[in-house]
Amino acid sequence: MKSLRSQLPPLTALTVFEAASRFSSFTRAAEELGVTQAAVSRQIHLLEEDFGFPLFTRLHRQVILTDKGKALSAAASDAFNLLAEAVTDLRRDASSDELTISATIAFSHFWLMPRISEFSRHYPYINLRIVTQDNMPNLQRGEVDVAIRFGNGMWPDGHAEPLFEDEVFPICSPEYAGTDGRIKTPADLTSYSLISNETDDPMWTGWNEWLSSFSIVVPKKTRGLRCSFYTEAIYAALNGQGIALGWTHLVEDLLRQGRLVRLTDAAIKPRGAYFVVVPTRQRSKEAANLFVKWLQIVSQEPK
Protein backbone atom coordinates (compact mmCIF):
# COMPACT_ATOMS: atom_id res chain seq x y z
CA MET A 1 0.00 0.00 0.00
CA LYS A 2 1.34 3.40 -0.95
CA SER A 3 2.00 5.85 1.86
CA LEU A 4 -0.03 9.06 2.01
CA ARG A 5 3.10 11.12 1.40
CA SER A 6 3.93 9.22 -1.80
CA GLN A 7 0.46 9.95 -3.17
CA LEU A 8 0.74 13.69 -2.65
CA PRO A 9 2.53 16.17 -4.89
CA PRO A 10 5.36 18.33 -3.42
CA LEU A 11 3.64 20.29 -0.61
CA THR A 12 5.67 23.46 -1.16
CA ALA A 13 4.62 23.51 -4.80
CA LEU A 14 1.03 22.76 -3.82
CA THR A 15 1.04 25.73 -1.40
CA VAL A 16 2.29 28.00 -4.17
CA PHE A 17 -0.30 26.59 -6.59
CA GLU A 18 -3.16 27.26 -4.12
CA ALA A 19 -2.16 30.93 -3.86
CA ALA A 20 -1.66 31.32 -7.63
CA SER A 21 -5.00 29.68 -8.43
CA ARG A 22 -6.79 31.83 -5.85
CA PHE A 23 -5.41 35.07 -7.34
CA SER A 24 -5.20 33.87 -10.98
CA SER A 25 -1.83 35.61 -10.87
CA PHE A 26 1.74 34.48 -10.26
CA THR A 27 2.67 38.02 -9.29
CA ARG A 28 0.07 38.40 -6.56
CA ALA A 29 0.82 34.90 -5.29
CA ALA A 30 4.47 35.87 -5.01
CA GLU A 31 3.54 38.99 -3.03
CA GLU A 32 1.44 36.97 -0.58
CA LEU A 33 4.09 34.30 -0.12
CA GLY A 34 6.98 36.73 0.10
CA VAL A 35 8.94 35.22 -2.79
CA THR A 36 9.77 36.26 -6.32
CA GLN A 37 7.51 35.71 -9.32
CA ALA A 38 10.24 33.52 -10.78
CA ALA A 39 10.11 31.29 -7.70
CA VAL A 40 6.35 30.90 -8.10
CA SER A 41 6.73 30.03 -11.79
CA ARG A 42 9.39 27.46 -10.93
CA GLN A 43 7.20 25.75 -8.30
CA ILE A 44 4.20 25.65 -10.66
CA HIS A 45 6.42 24.14 -13.37
CA LEU A 46 7.65 21.45 -10.93
CA LEU A 47 4.06 20.64 -10.00
CA GLU A 48 3.01 20.36 -13.65
CA GLU A 49 5.97 18.05 -14.29
CA ASP A 50 4.93 15.91 -11.35
CA PHE A 51 1.37 15.61 -12.68
CA GLY A 52 2.37 15.32 -16.32
CA PHE A 53 -0.10 17.93 -17.58
CA PRO A 54 -0.52 21.74 -17.47
CA LEU A 55 -2.46 23.33 -14.62
CA PHE A 56 -2.54 26.85 -16.10
CA THR A 57 -2.96 28.32 -19.53
CA ARG A 58 -0.43 31.17 -19.81
CA LEU A 59 -1.73 34.26 -21.59
CA HIS A 60 0.03 37.56 -22.19
CA ARG A 61 -0.88 39.22 -18.86
CA GLN A 62 -2.72 36.53 -16.94
CA VAL A 63 -2.92 32.85 -16.18
CA ILE A 64 -6.10 30.78 -16.37
CA LEU A 65 -6.70 27.42 -14.74
CA THR A 66 -7.19 24.45 -17.01
CA ASP A 67 -10.05 22.05 -16.24
CA LYS A 68 -7.68 19.78 -14.33
CA GLY A 69 -6.22 22.84 -12.64
CA LYS A 70 -9.70 23.85 -11.48
CA ALA A 71 -10.27 20.42 -9.96
CA LEU A 72 -6.96 20.57 -8.09
CA SER A 73 -7.63 24.15 -6.99
CA ALA A 74 -10.98 23.20 -5.42
CA ALA A 75 -9.44 20.25 -3.58
CA ALA A 76 -6.43 22.26 -2.39
CA SER A 77 -8.61 25.12 -1.21
CA ASP A 78 -10.86 22.80 0.82
CA ALA A 79 -7.86 21.00 2.33
CA PHE A 80 -6.01 24.18 3.30
CA ASN A 81 -9.16 25.77 4.76
CA LEU A 82 -9.86 22.66 6.82
CA LEU A 83 -6.28 22.61 8.08
CA ALA A 84 -6.39 26.34 8.89
CA GLU A 85 -9.58 25.93 10.92
CA ALA A 86 -8.07 23.03 12.88
CA VAL A 87 -4.88 24.98 13.60
CA THR A 88 -6.90 28.02 14.70
CA ASP A 89 -8.95 25.90 17.09
CA LEU A 90 -5.86 24.21 18.51
CA ARG A 91 -4.10 27.51 19.03
CA ARG A 92 -7.20 28.99 20.63
CA ASP A 93 -7.42 26.07 23.07
CA ALA A 94 -3.72 26.24 23.86
CA SER A 95 -3.54 30.00 24.30
CA SER A 96 -6.77 30.68 26.14
CA ASP A 97 -8.65 29.02 28.96
CA GLU A 98 -11.45 31.60 28.84
CA LEU A 99 -15.01 30.45 28.18
CA THR A 100 -17.43 33.08 26.87
CA ILE A 101 -21.09 32.45 27.65
CA SER A 102 -23.99 34.45 26.23
CA ALA A 103 -27.38 34.73 27.93
CA THR A 104 -30.26 37.18 28.16
CA ILE A 105 -30.16 39.75 30.93
CA ALA A 106 -32.99 38.08 32.85
CA PHE A 107 -31.65 34.53 32.54
CA SER A 108 -28.15 35.57 33.50
CA HIS A 109 -29.34 37.65 36.46
CA PHE A 110 -31.94 35.33 37.97
CA TRP A 111 -30.82 31.81 36.99
CA LEU A 112 -27.23 31.59 35.76
CA MET A 113 -25.33 33.87 38.14
CA PRO A 114 -26.74 32.26 41.33
CA ARG A 115 -25.50 28.86 40.08
CA ILE A 116 -22.34 29.57 38.10
CA SER A 117 -20.09 29.38 41.17
CA GLU A 118 -20.81 25.64 41.32
CA PHE A 119 -19.30 25.21 37.87
CA SER A 120 -16.25 27.24 38.90
CA ARG A 121 -15.77 25.04 41.97
CA HIS A 122 -15.67 21.96 39.75
CA TYR A 123 -13.44 23.58 37.10
CA PRO A 124 -11.43 26.35 38.77
CA TYR A 125 -8.94 26.51 35.88
CA ILE A 126 -11.62 27.74 33.44
CA ASN A 127 -11.97 31.52 33.35
CA LEU A 128 -15.54 32.57 32.64
CA ARG A 129 -16.79 35.60 30.73
CA ILE A 130 -20.54 36.21 30.82
CA VAL A 131 -22.02 38.31 28.01
CA THR A 132 -25.50 39.50 28.96
CA GLN A 133 -27.61 40.99 26.18
CA ASP A 134 -31.11 40.41 24.92
CA ASN A 135 -30.03 40.62 21.28
CA MET A 136 -28.63 37.23 20.25
CA PRO A 137 -25.00 37.39 19.07
CA ASN A 138 -24.10 35.47 15.92
CA LEU A 139 -22.15 32.41 17.06
CA GLN A 140 -20.31 32.11 13.74
CA ARG A 141 -18.32 35.26 14.50
CA GLY A 142 -16.35 33.31 17.10
CA GLU A 143 -16.97 35.80 19.91
CA VAL A 144 -19.12 33.42 22.00
CA ASP A 145 -18.44 29.77 22.87
CA VAL A 146 -21.84 28.86 24.35
CA ALA A 147 -25.20 30.63 24.25
CA ILE A 148 -28.32 30.08 26.34
CA ARG A 149 -31.40 31.08 24.37
CA PHE A 150 -35.16 31.01 24.60
CA GLY A 151 -37.04 30.05 21.46
CA ASN A 152 -37.93 27.12 19.23
CA GLY A 153 -34.43 25.65 19.05
CA MET A 154 -34.03 26.44 15.34
CA TRP A 155 -31.08 28.81 14.88
CA PRO A 156 -28.90 28.72 11.74
CA ASP A 157 -25.69 29.67 13.55
CA GLY A 158 -25.64 26.87 16.14
CA HIS A 159 -26.65 23.43 17.32
CA ALA A 160 -29.25 23.58 20.11
CA GLU A 161 -29.84 21.13 22.96
CA PRO A 162 -32.99 21.55 25.13
CA LEU A 163 -32.64 22.57 28.77
CA PHE A 164 -36.17 23.05 30.07
CA GLU A 165 -39.63 24.38 29.32
CA ASP A 166 -41.27 27.00 31.50
CA GLU A 167 -44.57 28.13 32.95
CA VAL A 168 -45.81 31.68 33.37
CA PHE A 169 -48.01 32.81 36.27
CA PRO A 170 -48.76 35.98 38.28
CA ILE A 171 -46.47 36.92 41.18
CA CYS A 172 -46.04 39.81 43.59
CA SER A 173 -44.48 40.65 46.94
CA PRO A 174 -46.06 39.14 50.09
CA GLU A 175 -46.95 42.66 51.23
CA TYR A 176 -48.76 43.51 48.00
CA ALA A 177 -50.62 40.19 48.06
CA GLY A 178 -52.19 41.16 51.38
CA THR A 179 -53.15 44.77 50.64
CA ASP A 180 -56.39 44.60 48.64
CA GLY A 181 -57.89 41.23 49.46
CA ARG A 182 -57.35 37.79 48.08
CA ILE A 183 -57.00 37.14 44.35
CA LYS A 184 -58.78 33.88 43.50
CA THR A 185 -59.14 33.81 39.71
CA PRO A 186 -57.25 35.23 36.70
CA ALA A 187 -60.15 37.62 36.11
CA ASP A 188 -59.48 39.27 39.50
CA LEU A 189 -56.06 40.44 38.27
CA THR A 190 -57.43 43.16 35.99
CA SER A 191 -58.40 45.21 39.04
CA TYR A 192 -54.80 45.47 40.19
CA SER A 193 -51.61 47.19 39.06
CA LEU A 194 -50.03 44.95 36.40
CA ILE A 195 -46.29 45.27 35.78
CA SER A 196 -45.11 44.59 32.24
CA ASN A 197 -41.90 44.90 30.26
CA GLU A 198 -41.08 45.83 26.68
CA THR A 199 -39.73 43.17 24.34
CA ASP A 200 -39.33 42.48 20.64
CA ASP A 201 -39.36 38.71 21.17
CA PRO A 202 -42.56 37.28 19.62
CA MET A 203 -42.31 34.23 21.90
CA TRP A 204 -42.30 36.26 25.08
CA THR A 205 -45.55 36.02 27.04
CA GLY A 206 -47.03 39.34 28.14
CA TRP A 207 -50.18 40.22 30.05
CA ASN A 208 -52.41 40.44 26.98
CA GLU A 209 -51.52 36.92 25.85
CA TRP A 210 -51.67 35.52 29.38
CA LEU A 211 -55.11 36.94 30.20
CA SER A 212 -56.48 36.13 26.75
CA SER A 213 -55.57 32.47 27.23
CA PHE A 214 -58.17 32.42 30.05
CA SER A 215 -60.77 34.16 27.83
CA ILE A 216 -60.42 37.39 29.80
CA VAL A 217 -61.01 40.59 27.89
CA VAL A 218 -58.17 42.94 28.71
CA PRO A 219 -59.43 46.43 29.57
CA LYS A 220 -58.24 49.19 27.24
CA LYS A 221 -56.92 51.07 30.25
CA THR A 222 -55.27 49.13 33.02
CA ARG A 223 -53.30 50.32 35.99
CA GLY A 224 -49.69 49.33 36.01
CA LEU A 225 -46.01 50.00 35.50
CA ARG A 226 -44.25 49.42 32.19
CA CYS A 227 -40.52 48.61 32.32
CA SER A 228 -37.83 48.31 29.67
CA PHE A 229 -36.50 44.96 30.89
CA TYR A 230 -37.87 41.90 32.65
CA THR A 231 -35.34 42.35 35.46
CA GLU A 232 -36.83 45.78 36.19
CA ALA A 233 -40.35 44.31 36.24
CA ILE A 234 -39.29 41.71 38.81
CA TYR A 235 -37.62 44.31 41.03
CA ALA A 236 -40.73 46.46 40.79
CA ALA A 237 -42.77 43.46 42.00
CA LEU A 238 -40.28 42.87 44.83
CA ASN A 239 -40.76 46.47 45.90
CA GLY A 240 -44.56 46.19 46.00
CA GLN A 241 -45.34 48.08 42.77
CA GLY A 242 -47.89 45.52 41.61
CA ILE A 243 -48.20 42.11 39.95
CA ALA A 244 -45.75 40.77 37.38
CA LEU A 245 -45.66 37.58 35.35
CA GLY A 246 -43.25 35.06 36.79
CA TRP A 247 -41.38 32.56 34.64
CA THR A 248 -40.78 29.42 36.68
CA HIS A 249 -37.03 29.08 36.24
CA LEU A 250 -36.38 32.80 36.52
CA VAL A 251 -38.24 33.42 39.77
CA GLU A 252 -37.94 30.02 41.51
CA ASP A 253 -35.23 31.25 43.89
CA LEU A 254 -37.24 34.34 44.84
CA LEU A 255 -40.32 32.21 45.46
CA ARG A 256 -38.36 29.76 47.59
CA GLN A 257 -36.90 32.63 49.61
CA GLY A 258 -40.40 34.04 50.21
CA ARG A 259 -39.55 37.37 48.59
CA LEU A 260 -42.24 36.78 45.96
CA VAL A 261 -45.47 34.78 46.14
CA ARG A 262 -47.52 33.06 43.48
CA LEU A 263 -51.05 34.43 43.37
CA THR A 264 -53.04 31.68 41.64
CA ASP A 265 -52.59 28.15 40.34
CA ALA A 266 -53.42 29.44 36.87
CA ALA A 267 -50.46 29.24 34.49
CA ILE A 268 -49.71 28.89 30.81
CA LYS A 269 -46.81 27.37 28.93
CA PRO A 270 -45.05 29.76 26.55
CA ARG A 271 -44.46 28.72 22.97
CA GLY A 272 -40.70 28.40 23.35
CA ALA A 273 -38.24 26.71 25.68
CA TYR A 274 -34.69 27.26 26.91
CA PHE A 275 -31.81 25.77 24.93
CA VAL A 276 -28.04 25.68 25.17
CA VAL A 277 -26.51 26.47 21.78
CA VAL A 278 -22.98 25.89 20.46
CA PRO A 279 -21.52 27.04 17.13
CA THR A 280 -21.88 24.57 14.27
CA ARG A 281 -18.93 25.57 12.08
CA GLN A 282 -16.08 25.32 14.53
CA ARG A 283 -14.76 22.71 16.92
CA SER A 284 -16.03 23.29 20.45
CA LYS A 285 -13.58 24.05 23.22
CA GLU A 286 -13.24 21.33 25.83
CA ALA A 287 -14.32 23.95 28.38
CA ALA A 288 -17.51 24.52 26.36
CA ASN A 289 -18.27 20.79 26.34
CA LEU A 290 -17.81 20.64 30.10
CA PHE A 291 -20.08 23.64 30.60
CA VAL A 292 -22.84 22.18 28.40
CA LYS A 293 -22.76 18.88 30.31
CA TRP A 294 -22.87 20.73 33.65
CA LEU A 295 -25.71 22.93 32.45
CA GLN A 296 -27.79 19.97 31.33
CA ILE A 297 -27.36 18.29 34.73
CA VAL A 298 -28.15 21.40 36.77
CA SER A 299 -31.17 22.29 34.65
CA GLN A 300 -32.77 18.92 35.47
CA GLU A 301 -32.32 19.21 39.23
CA PRO A 302 -35.63 19.42 41.13
CA LYS A 303 -36.78 22.92 41.97
**pLDDT tens by residue, 22-59:** 999 999 899 988 899 999 999 999 999 989 999 999 98
Helix (H) or strand (E) holding 100: strand 98-103
Which residues does residue 148 pair with via DSSP β-bridges, in sequence order? 276
What single DSSP character describes residue 83? H
Judge whether 4-94 and 168-262 match in fold.
no
Is the whole-model pTM more than 0.95? no
| Through-space distance between the first and last CA atoms of the chain, rounded to whole angstroms | 60
Give the contacts of 133 (CB within 8 A, at least 6 positions apart): 102, 104, 105
User: How many CB atoms are closer than 10 A to CB 174?
Assistant: 11
| CA–CA gap between residue 43 and residue 146 (Å, rounded) | 44
* Residue in 253, 245, 166, 251 with CA at minimum distance from that of residue 208: 245
Q: Which residue has the higher pLDDT, 161 or 1?
A: 161
In CATH, the number for domain 96-165+272-299 is 3.40.190.10
* Residue in 281, 255, 285 with CA at minimum distance from that of residue 267: 255
Helix (H, G, I), strand (E, B) or coil at 149: strand
Q: Would the pLDDT of 91 be above 60?
A: no
Give the contacts of 261 (CB within 8 A, at least 6 positions apart): 171, 172, 173, 174, 177, 255
Q: For 187, list phi and psi in degrees, rounded to 5.
A: -65, -30
- Region 181-193 average pLDDT: 85
**Per-residue pLDDT, 284:** 72
Q: Would the pLDDT of 96 be above 70?
A: no
Q: Which fold has domain 4-94?
A: Arc Repressor Mutant, subunit A (1.10.10)
| CA–CA gap between residue 265 and residue 286 (Å, rounded) | 42
Domains of the chain, residue spans: 4-94, 96-165+272-299, 168-262
* 215, 216, 218, 224: CA torsion to nearest 10: -130
Considering the segment(s) 168-262 as one domain, its CATH architecture is 3-Layer(aba) Sandwich (3.40)
Please, what is the angle between helix 67-95 and helix 11-23, to 10°? 110
* Residue in 86, 96, 72, 90 with CA at minimum distance from that of residue 21: 72
**Per-residue pLDDT, 179:** 62
Give the contacts of 155 (CB within 8 A, at least 6 positions apart): 136, 139, 149, 277
**Per-residue pLDDT, 223:** 77
What angle is formed at CA 12 by the lines to CA 6 and CA 18, rounded to 5 degrees?
Answer: 105
